[in-house]
């Protein structure tokens, strides 16, 4: 019964979103999880509004972008035309963009160093006075300890999460990871889940087009899927 492969999910199909939804439903069933326990973030980076609109029309409401500037150029129009859009920043954040990021995004998945914590804490303090913009925050882990990659390495994770909370007063909701491309992802997902559990964090942002079913099996609450929905970049 379980002989279909995940490679059937490709964005070259006319309806990538429907295939991804079907695969998520199946992964949830296999893992005995409720479909509602997994949020699909449709990663629309590099795609223009005319590619994004049909996906919104199909019912998708949660989207991910990896650059603040690109998102600022594309999304305000789409957001005002379609109430209920939720936008997630999944790429690196520079501290001088913290203000714009807090204004536009409902979640930030790339908290990974003190300068970002400081900038976010400052912005959030202002925002709370003005209006209630309070994005969900995820700490990004570099589970493969890859020098070119952003994220906190596993042995520094507990101390970093504590400092986010105690030193900067940030409410951290979860962890995010991007496993090395040349390794099976399962061990990285499992490690991320373990670090989250021992720090009392409930949300896990893990799994992309190639491996979101594995991530769901290992507890992902947010999967970030781009090319399987939108096609190749």
Ligand X SMILES: *Cc1c(COP(=O)(O)O)cnc(C)c1O
Interface residue list for ligand X (CB under 6 A): 43, 45, 66, 90-91, 178, 208-209, 224-228
Pairing of strands 136-141, 174-177: parallel
Which CB atom, from 188 or from 224, has the smaller least distance to ligand X? Answer: 224
CA end-to-end span of the chain, whole Å?
A: 33
Which CB atom, from 60 or from 227, has the smaller least distance to ligand X? Answer: 227
Which CB atom, from 15 or from 163, has the smaller least distance to ligand X? Answer: 15
Which CB atom, from 17 or from 208, has the smaller least distance to ligand X? Answer: 208
Q: Is-contact 44 65, C-beta < 8 A?
A: yes
Tell the smallest beta-carbon distance from residue 91 to ligand X (Å): 6
Cα separation of 204 and 67, whole Å? 21
Which CB atom, from 32 or from 43, has the smaller least distance to ligand X? Answer: 43
Tell the smallest beta-carbon distance from residue 42 to ligand X (Å): 9
Tell the smallest beta-carbon distance from residue 143 to ligand X (Å): 13
What is the DSSP secondary-structure string of 5-30?
-GGG--TTSTTHHHHHHHHHHHHHHH
Of 147, 148, 151, which Cα lies nearest the Cα of 138?
151
Tell the smallest beta-carbon distance from residue 224 to ligand X (Å): 4
Tell the smallest beta-carbon distance from residue 29 to ligand X (Å): 22
Question: Token match 């101390």: residue?
Answer: 159
Nearest residue (beta carbon) to ligand X: 226
């Amino acid at each position: 019964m379980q002989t279909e492969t995940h490679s059937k999910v490709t964005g070259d199909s006319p309806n990538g979103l429907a295939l991804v939804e079907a695969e998520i439903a199946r992964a949830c069933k296999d893992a005995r999880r409720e479909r509602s326990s997994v949020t699909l973030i449709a990663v629309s980076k590099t795609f223009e509004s005319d590619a994004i609109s049909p996906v919104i029309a199909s019912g998708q409401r949660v989207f991910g972008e990896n650059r603040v500037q690109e998102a600022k150029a594309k999304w305000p129009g789409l957001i005002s035309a379609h109430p209920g859009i939720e936008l997630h920043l999944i790429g690196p954040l520079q501290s001088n963009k913290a203000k714009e990021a807090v204004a536009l995004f409902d979640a930030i998945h790339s908290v990974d160093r003190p300068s970002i914590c400081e900038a976010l804490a400052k912005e959030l303090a202002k925002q709370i006075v003005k209006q209630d913009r309070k994005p969900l925050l995820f700490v990004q882990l570099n589970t493969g300890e890859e020098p070119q990659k952003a994220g906190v390495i596993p042995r520094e994770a507990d101390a970093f999460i504590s400092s986010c909370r105690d030193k900067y007063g940030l409410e951290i909701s979860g962890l995010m990871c991007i496993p090395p491309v040349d390794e099976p992802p399962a061990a990285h997902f499992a490690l991320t889940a373990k670090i989250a559990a021992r720090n009392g964090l409930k949300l896990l942002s893990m799994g992309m087009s190639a491996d979101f079913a594995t991530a769901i099996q290992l507890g992902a609450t947010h999967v970030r899927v781009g090319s399987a929905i939108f096609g190749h970049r």
